[in-house]
Chains A and B, each alone.
Chain A
Amino acid sequence: MTTQTDKELEDLLLYQSLDEADTFVVNVTTKLESMRKLRKRFLMISIAAATLSTALLISALKIPLWEFVSQITEQYPLGLACVTIICLITGMLMHSEGR
């Protein structure tokens, strides 16, 4: 294989510029923007749902919040710690995904 042939092939296979580059960039940024909005919306809905379900649970117990927390802390300290860690990890993951 000669160098001349290599040069001919390089000239032939060289990428040519594409006219619709700006449209492509706009399409990508638009898709990213809509994806980001969707994730933020999902995050907001998740937080709202979690808050609402917690509030409903506490109201269903018919005891004051501080009493509920102290009872849980006393009776299930390990479970509470696990739930807190899981919530923290989930929150961090969702935050990084929603970036």
Chain B
Amino acid sequence: MNDQSLITRVLIYDDQHAFTTLVKKHQLPIRQFLRRLTNGNHALADDLSQQVFITAYNKLSTFKAASTFSTWLHSIAYRRFLNEMRKGQYQSEIKTEDDAVFQSTENPIESTIENPVENEILAEQLVARLSEAERTCITLAFSAGMSHQEIVTITGLPLGTVKSHINRSKLKLSNWLADSLPRSAL
């Protein structure tokens, strides 16, 4: 059953099973997206993800099929993350680019991209060095597989800015990746 049919079932019949199916289907990209945005703060990311699905349930009648359900959920997730940032509750967790580079100089990353767990840790470490906007754009583009237009819809940034964030992030990540990994792993 596709997303639209499930949404229709929730709206018309208040079908809880249909909504649970939607949560099961979309929890991974939303939770991973928020983990990347929160620099790997898994507890905060999961809390925010829960709020995203509860908001989605409450506002489901306002969902327009102009975008996909996944894009809509990512928009809610991104706004939740920005709200959390504004509250300043986890400001101390956000590493600046310089801090991260300093950390990496002291503790060089020696993971390989062969192990999925190590790969995830490495991805979180590298993405954490990017600015918030770069992190959002590169994660949506490369991890969530969103188009540039979908990223514009989610973030509200101009198309040119999204493209430049992605290009800059790609360049930075590939340089850091080259520095972090043993040559044999590449």
Contacts and interface: CB of A to CB of B under 8 A. Distances in A.
Given A8-B186, A15-B29, A31-B54, 6 more contacts: A9-B174, A18-B27, A24-B49, A28-B23, A35-B54, A99-B14
B173 A9 contact: yes
Interface of A: 1, 5-6, 8-18, 21, 24-25, 27-29, 31-33, 35, 96-97, 99
B162 interface: no
B183 interface: no
Interface in B131-186: 138-139, 142-144, 167, 170-171, 173-174, 177, 186
A9 B170 contact: yes
The 7 closest A-B pairs by CB, nearest first: A15-B32, A13-B142, A13-B143, A16-B120, A5-B174, A16-B116, A28-B53
The dominant DSSP class at the B interface is helix
A13 B16 contact: no
Nearest to B32: A15
Contacts of A31: 50, 54
B67 interface: no
Interface of B: 14, 16, 19-20, 23-24, 27-29, 31-32, 46, 49-50, 53-54, 57-58, 61, 113, 116-117, 119-120, 122-123, 126-127, 138-139, 142-144, 167, 170-171, 173-174, 177, 186
A13 B121 CA distance: 10
Contacts of B142: 9-10, 13-14
Given A28-B23, A96-B61, A13 B139 contact: yes
A29 B16 contact: yes
Nearest to B113: A12
Contact of B20 (A14, A17, A25): A25
A92 to B, nearest CB: 12
A29 B16 CA distance: 8
Given A1-B167, A1-B170, A29 B23 contact: yes
Given A24-B27, A28-B23, A8 B50 contact: no
A11 B32 CA distance: 15
B119 A12 contact: yes
Contacts of B138: 13
